[in-house]
Amino acid sequence: MASSKNKITLSFPGIEETLDRFEKMDLAIGPAVTEALQKSYDYVTTHLEDQIEQHRRTGKTAESLLKNEKVQVEGTTYSINVGFDIGNGGLASIFLMYGSPRHKI
């Protein structure tokens, strides 16, 4: 799995108490949170794939797009890596988003 600092996360105060309430009602919110994050990832990734094509020169940035990520669960924190793997050819994605000293957006 690729390492990325770009993540979509879902977190809110009082999660422990909310989870306790759901457990008492025999409901599991994990699948709903997982589905919401996965669909968000799918939406973002699809749009990034479409947009990166107009900037293709070498293909390295497009190849660095994180395409097969899955939701990770650590305790009550659910997250998914999203975007480009900066250390593996995705550095140019930063310049495409924010510009550079020579090319302002």
Is the pLDDT score of 62 beyond 70?
Answer: yes
Tell me the pTM.
Answer: 0.68
Is the pLDDT score of 35 beyond 70?
Answer: yes
Is the pLDDT score of 60 beyond 80?
Answer: yes
Distance (Å) of CA 74 to CA 10, 30, 49, 80: 12, 12, 28, 11
Residues 6+ apart with CB under 8 A from 21: none
Q: What is the DSSP letter of 102?
A: S
Instruction: Kindly report the average pLDDT of the chain as a whole number.
Output: 84
